[in-house]
Amino acid sequence: MSAPHRVAVDVLTSYVAEQSDPTASRFVFSYTITIRNEGAEAAKLLTRHWLITDANGKVEEVRGDGVVGHQPHLKPGYAFQYSSGAMIETPVGVMQGSYQMVTDAGEHFDAPIAPFSLAVPGVVH
9-57: per-residue pLDDT in tens? Answer: 999 999 999 999 999 999 999 999 999 999 999 999 999 999 999 999 9
The phi and psi torsions of 19 (rounded to 5 degrees) equal -100, -5
Q: Which residues, in sequence order, are CB contacts of 24 under 8 Å at separation 6+?
A: none
Which class in CATH covers the domain with range 7-118? mainly beta
Q: How large is the average pLDDT for residues 86-104?
A: 97
- Sequence spans of domains, the chain: 7-118
Taking the C-alpha atoms of residue 113 and residue 95, their distance in angstroms, rounded to an integer, is 9
pTM of the model: 0.91
